[in-house]
Chain A
Amino acid sequence: MHYKDYVNWEKMPTSWCPGCAIGIIFKQLTFALEKLEIRKEELVIVSGIGCSGRAAGYFSSDSVHGTHGRAIPIAEGIKRANPALTVIVFSGDGDLVGIGGNHLIHSARRDIDLTVICINNETYGMTGGQMSPTTKEGIKTPTSPGGNRYYPINIQGILTSNKRHFYARSSTYKINHLQKVIQQAIEWKGFAFIDAIAFCIENFGRHLGFKNAFEMLERTKTDFKIPANKDKVLAENELGIMKK
Chain B
Amino acid sequence: MGNEAASLGALKAGMTFFAAYPITPASEIMHFLAGKEKTIEFIHAEDEIASIHMAIGASLAGRKALVSTSGPGMSLKQEAIGLAHMMEVPLVIINVQRVGPSTGMPTLPSQGDILQAKHGSHGDYIPIVFYPNSVEECFKYVIKAFNASEESRSPVIFLMDGFLAHLSETVDLSKIKVRAKPRTLEPLGKGNRHFTGLLSKDGVPKTKDTEFYREWYSRIKNKMLETASRYSFFEYIENPTASSLLIAYGIASRVILPLKTKYSIFRPITLYPVLEKELKRTARRYKKVIVIEMNDGQYKEEVERILKREVEGISVLGGTIQLKEIKERLNAL
- With both chains docked as a complex, state the minimum distance between the C-beta of B233 and any C-beta of chain A, in angstroms: 30
Q: Which of B190, B198, B204 lies in contact with A62, CB distance below 8 A?
A: B190
In whole angstroms, how far apart are the Cα atoms of A42 and B188 in the complex? 9
Q: Does B251 lie at the interface of the complex (its beta carbon under 8 Å from any beta carbon of A)?
A: no
CB pair A81 B50 closer than 8 Å: no
CB pair A57 B203 closer than 8 Å: yes
Q: Which one, A72-80, A150-158, A171-179, A234-242, is touching chain B?
A: A72-80
Majority-rule SS of A interface residues: helix
CB pair B189 A73 closer than 8 Å: no
* B residues in contact with A64, CB < 8 Å: 57, 60, 87, 188, 194-196
CB pair A106 B192 closer than 8 Å: no
Q: Which one, B41-49, B258-266, B300-308, B315-323, is touching chain A?
A: B41-49
Nearest A residue to B205 by beta-carbon distance? A57
Given contacts A41-B190, A85-B189, contact A78 B61 (CB under 8 A): yes
In whole angstroms, how far apart are the Cα atoms of A80 and B56 in the complex? 12
8 Å CB interface, B157-209 against A: 187-198, 203-205
Q: Which of B54, B83, B187, B194 lies in contact with A80, CB distance below 8 A?
A: B54
CB pair B46 A77 closer than 8 Å: no
CB pair B45 A81 closer than 8 Å: no
8 Å CB interface, A57-108 against B: 57, 60-67, 70, 73-82, 84-85, 102-103, 105-106
Q: Does A161 lie at the interface of the complex (its beta carbon under 8 Å from any beta carbon of B)?
A: no
Q: Does B72 lie at the interface of the complex (its beta carbon under 8 Å from any beta carbon of A)?
A: no
- With both chains docked as a complex, state the minimum distance between the C-beta of A161 and any C-beta of chain B, in angstroms: 15
- With both chains docked as a complex, state the minimum distance between the C-beta of A96 and any C-beta of chain B, in angstroms: 13
Q: Which of B54, B195, B203 lies in contact with A76, CB distance below 8 A?
A: B54
8 Å CB interface, B8-56 against A: 17, 19, 41, 43, 45-47, 49-51, 53-56
In whole angstroms, how far apart are the Cα atoms of A77 and B60 in the complex? 9
Q: Which of B60, B63, B83, B191 lies in contact with A40, CB distance below 8 A?
A: B191
Nearest A residue to B193 by beta-carbon distance? A62
CB pair A67 B197 closer than 8 Å: yes
- With both chains docked as a complex, state the minimum distance between the C-beta of B250 and any C-beta of chain A, in angstroms: 30
CB pair A63 B53 closer than 8 Å: no
Q: Which of A56, A81, A106 lies in contact with B62, CB distance below 8 A?
A: A81
Q: Does B145 lie at the interface of the complex (its beta carbon under 8 Å from any beta carbon of A)?
A: no
In whole angstroms, how far apart are the Cα atoms of A106 and B65 in the complex? 21
CB pair A8 B192 closer than 8 Å: yes
In whole angstroms, how far apart are the Cα atoms of A42 and B190 in the complex? 8
Q: Does A11 lie at the interface of the complex (its beta carbon under 8 Å from any beta carbon of B)?
A: yes
* B residues in contact with A8, CB < 8 Å: 192, 194
* B residues in contact with A67, CB < 8 Å: 53, 79-80, 83, 197
Q: Does B58 lie at the interface of the complex (its beta carbon under 8 Å from any beta carbon of A)?
A: yes
Q: Which of B50, B60, B196, B198 lies in contact with A70, CB distance below 8 A?
A: B50
Nearest B residue to A77 by beta-carbon distance? B57
* B residues in contact with A44, CB < 8 Å: 61, 188-189
Query: A139-177 interface mask toward B, CB cutoff 8 Å, 1 = contact, 0 = none?
Result: 000000000000000000000000000000000000000
CB pair A56 B50 closer than 8 Å: no
* B residues in contact with A105, CB < 8 Å: 46
CB pair B54 A85 closer than 8 Å: no
Most buried by B among A56, A66, A75, A105: A66
Nearest B residue to A56 by beta-carbon distance? B194
In whole angstroms, how far apart are the Cα atoms of A60 and B87 in the complex? 18
CB pair B53 A81 closer than 8 Å: no
- With both chains docked as a complex, state the minimum distance between the C-beta of A70 and any C-beta of chain B, in angstroms: 4
CB pair A65 B194 closer than 8 Å: yes
Most buried by B among A10, A64, A76, A77: A77
In whole angstroms, how far apart are the Cα atoms of A78 and B61 in the complex? 5
* A residues in contact with B79, CB < 8 Å: 67
CB pair B204 A73 closer than 8 Å: no
Q: Which of A11, A62, A77 lies in contact with B54, CB distance below 8 A?
A: A77
Nearest A residue to B17 by beta-carbon distance? A81
* B residues in contact with A81, CB < 8 Å: 17, 41, 57-63, 65, 187
Given contacts A44-B189, A63-B195, contact A73 B50 (CB under 8 A): yes
Given contacts A57-B203, A78-B60, contact A66 B188 (CB under 8 A): no
Nearest B residue to A42 by beta-carbon distance? B189
Most buried by B among A42, A60, A65, A74: A74
- With both chains docked as a complex, state the minimum distance between the C-beta of B49 and any C-beta of chain A, in angstroms: 7
In whole angstroms, how far apart are the Cα atoms of A76 and B189 in the complex? 15
8 Å CB interface, B257-316 against A: none
6 examples of A-B residue contacts, CB within 8 angstroms:
A8-B194, A65-B197, A77-B58, A78-B58, A80-B58, A103-B50
Extra 17 A-B pairs, beta carbons < 8 Å, given A63-B194, A106-B45? A41-B189, A41-B190, A44-B189, A57-B196, A60-B191, A64-B87, A64-B188, A64-B195, A67-B197, A73-B51, A77-B53, A77-B57, A77-B61, A78-B58, A79-B61, A81-B59, A102-B47
What 7 pairs across the A-B complex have the smallest Cβ distances? A77-B57, A77-B54, A81-B61, A106-B46, A81-B58, A73-B53, A65-B196
